[in-house]
A and B are shown apart, each in its own frame.
Chain A
Amino acid sequence: MGAMNMIVCVKQVIDPEAPPASFKIDPATGKVVPPPGVSPVIDPYGEYAVEAALRVKDAQGGKITAISLGVKQLRDVVKKPLSMGADELVLLEDEAYDEGDSWSTAYALAMAIKKIGEYDIIFCGREASDWNAGQVGSGIAEILGLPSVTLAKTIDITDAKAKVERITADGYEVVEVLLPALITVSNELGEPRYPTIKGIMAAKKKDPIIWTPADLGVEPDQIGEAGRRAKMLKLFQPVHEGKVEIIEGESPEESAANLALKLRGAKIL
């Protein structure tokens, strides 16, 4: 079976594993304040997408190009796909790309993919951990006129077709799609691999390819904030009412028994 030419879309985000208590919205700007001392990361679903591509590369060889759109992208962070085993990194890094919505972001990424030219599969995460929009992958497929399969947990390639197990409400379905295609990946794929020392060293030496809007031939008013079709009117944190009651005891076992009694008393048990 032939080697696969693959593209993976990733992005840098605030670490979603940072303690919820550290999440703050700046009242002046209405924007999220990156928690101090917490390094940004590659969005986890994008990582699953990289892992999906690496598994195909393991099985039949090929090349993986990661694309990341954003501003102030830390090289240590956005090079993670390279250190995991991807071959190239393209950065869409320019103010003009920033503050976009699903539409303007998908459009920029689609134009970058067009510029790359050759591909068999495009992998994206099912949604990103910051905006949880869940649209960019399908949007890129629509712009490029490609078939798409979402929520993939396994991908098998044979004869220019991908056989995808796709998550459903009560299990999964097996969908066959003609390549080239776009596939969005879900965490049910399984834990992504850790970078290897060899991978990290190789990534350090690799220079990312950087494309400006002019390189892509897109007008600034089609991308980023200027290209938005959806407007965000408000961003706010839900207020949690209520205080926890800590149930205690002389020993863990006694605390446990007291908890049961407390729940009984509150008519919850």
Chain B
Amino acid sequence: MAEYKGVMAYCEVTDGKLGAIGTELLGGGRKLADDLGEELTAVLVGSGVGGLAQEAIAFGAEKVYVVDDPLLKDYQTDSYVVVMEKVVKQVMPRVLMLGQTTIGRDLVPRLAFRLNTAASLDCLELSIDPDSKALLQTKPVYGGNAYAVFTTEYYPQIVTVRVKAMSPLERDDSRKGEIINIEAGLDPSAIRTKVLDKVVEEVEGIKLEDAPVVVSGGRGIGSGDGFKQLEELAKLLKGAVGASRPPCDNAWVPAGLQVGLTGKIVSPELYIAVALSGSSQHMSGCSGSKNIVAINKDPEANIVKQARFAVIGDWKKILPAFTEKVKELLAG
């Protein structure tokens, strides 16, 4: 029976560009491929994506498999699973890595079940066991209260990797690689969904994931109105506003502001958590922050334990005074 060999990175194409996640997977994948003594490849799936193969090579892919078809213009489960099944059966990678993205989260479970293998989602760390050569897959569980290391004896070993968990290699346009086209060969009638519309919810100002400062509010803010004070502070600090799940569930703020394991993952220089208890599900989203500051009436709140600095008391009294002082210091 033919062996599964090599590490394959699924490189997403967004708005005609090679997404950063693909370059990160190639960067992390390079180490795995080296430890295995095997090849690092990339796969590009979409419509009009062939032109990006050279860039994938520049970021470390030794071979790039391209599946280019008008039917693949929008991600849809049925078409992409069929295509990836075909790619895997042809290339037989030992390890297949995707990003923990809207596509990865949807494609990987379906693909793993179709291929009769096992997958782990939202991996923070991957390594090769020196004895068994198996892929060791570390991911958060229990909302981030714990980490688990998984492995499988089935192939390919499929994972999604958290965005920014790995680093890309230096781009090197002199790198050489092979580009191999694979026909999609899709039956349009087998695609059981239709994408009717795509809505981008514009966020005013800086994107949460890119903000150097995030001012986040929790259940204790109590209303959408309360968040206005956080907006003021965020603006002052040239940052963005975030929230834990309750304010989003209660529609005090748009759902897109949710920071957490199933929301946005942020790692700003400064994360100011106001009236927010710091559940592990939420901490999973912000624990990468350089500095966490908590304003909370409960000294035993989990966020206080995780913070570098904290003020214990009523946020309604503390936040305005804090904002005033910050204004003063920034002006002076």
Q: How far is the CA of A255 from the CA of B309 in the complex (A)?
A: 11
B329 touching A134 by the CB < 8 A rule?
no
B113 touching A16 by the CB < 8 A rule?
no
Interface string of B116-134 (1 = CB under 8 A from A): 1111111000000000000
| B136: interface (CB < 8 Å) | yes
A228 to chain B, nearest CB (A): 8
A266 to chain B, nearest CB (A): 8
| B146: interface (CB < 8 Å) | yes
| B229: interface (CB < 8 Å) | no
Interface string of A231-245 (1 = CB under 8 A from B): 111111110101011
Known contacts A130-B141, A149-B193; is A268 also within 8 Å of B146 by CB? Answer: no
**Which of B136, B146, B251, B322 interacts with A260 by CB under 8 Å?**
B322
Q: How far is the CA of A120 from the CA of B62 in the complex (A)?
A: 46
B273 to chain A, nearest CB (A): 12
Which of under 10, 10 to 19, 20 to 34, or 35 or more describes the interface residues of B?
Answer: 35 or more
Known contacts A244-B307, A247-B309; is A147 also within 8 Å of B77 by CB? Answer: yes
Known contacts A101-B118, A153-B255; is A231 also within 8 Å of B325 by CB? Answer: no
B318 touching A256 by the CB < 8 A rule?
yes
Known contacts A129-B143, A171-B198, A172-B199; is A106 also within 8 Å of B281 by CB? Answer: no
Which chain A residues in 242-269 approach chain B with CB under 8 Å?
A: 242, 244-248, 251-264, 266, 268-269
A188 touching B248 by the CB < 8 A rule?
yes
Known contacts A150-B105, A257-B322; is A244 also within 8 Å of B308 by CB? Answer: yes
A233 touching B110 by the CB < 8 A rule?
no
A168 touching B198 by the CB < 8 A rule?
yes
Q: Which residues of A contact B141 (CB under 8 A)?
A: 130-132, 235
A126 to chain B, nearest CB (A): 7
| A225: interface (CB < 8 Å) | no
A233 touching B113 by the CB < 8 A rule?
no
**Which of A16, A171, A251 interacts with B199 by CB under 8 Å?**
A171
B154 touching A102 by the CB < 8 A rule?
no
Q: Which residues of A contact B78 (CB under 8 A)?
A: 147
Q: How far is the CA of A153 from the CA of B262 in the complex (A)?
A: 13
B310 touching A247 by the CB < 8 A rule?
yes
B106 touching A229 by the CB < 8 A rule?
no
A25 to chain B, nearest CB (A): 6
Q: Which residues of A contact B77 (CB under 8 A)?
A: 147-150
A119 to chain B, nearest CB (A): 16
Q: Which residues of A contact B186 (CB under 8 A)?
A: none
Which chain B residues in 235-276 approach chain A with CB under 8 Å?
A: 237, 245, 248-251, 255-256, 258, 261-262, 269-270
| B175: interface (CB < 8 Å) | no
A261 to chain B, nearest CB (A): 7
B192 touching A169 by the CB < 8 A rule?
no
Q: Which residues of B contact A176 (CB under 8 A)?
A: 193-194, 196
| B13: interface (CB < 8 Å) | no
| B182: interface (CB < 8 Å) | no
B223 to chain A, nearest CB (A): 15
| B139: interface (CB < 8 Å) | yes
Q: Which residues of B contact A133 (CB under 8 A)?
A: 120-121
Give the most central of A17, A106, A135, A181: most B CB within 10 Å.
A135
| A142: interface (CB < 8 Å) | yes
Known contacts A169-B101, A171-B256; is A132 also within 8 Å of B143 by CB? Answer: yes
Known contacts A130-B141, A230-B152; is A257 also within 8 Å of B321 by CB? Answer: yes
Chain A residue nearest to B318 in the complex (CB): A256
**Which of A32, A187, A263 interacts with B248 by CB under 8 Å?**
A187
**Which of A134, A148, A229, A248 interacts with B154 by CB under 8 Å?**
A229
**Which of A135, A142, A175, A229 interacts with B152 by CB under 8 Å?**
A229
B214 to chain A, nearest CB (A): 13
| A21: interface (CB < 8 Å) | yes
Q: With A151-B102, A229-B152 given, can you name 5 additional A-B contacts, CB distance below 8 Å?
A: A132-B122, A167-B102, A236-B148, A238-B147, A256-B317
30 contacts between A and B (CB under 8 A): A16-B142, A16-B280, A102-B118, A129-B143, A133-B121, A134-B121, A135-B108, A135-B113, A139-B110, A142-B113, A142-B114, A143-B113, A147-B192, A150-B77, A169-B102, A171-B200, A174-B199, A186-B262, A233-B150, A235-B141, A238-B146, A245-B310, A247-B310, A247-B311, A252-B317, A253-B321, A256-B325, A259-B309, A259-B311, A259-B322
B interface residues with partner A (beta carbon < 8 Å): 76-78, 101-102, 105-106, 108-110, 112-114, 116-122, 136, 139-143, 145-154, 192-201, 237, 245, 248-251, 255-256, 258, 261-262, 269-270, 278-281, 283, 290-291, 293-294, 299-300, 302, 304-314, 317-322, 324-326, 329-330
Closest CB pairs A-B (n = 6): A256-B321, A147-B192, A138-B109, A260-B325, A135-B109, A171-B201
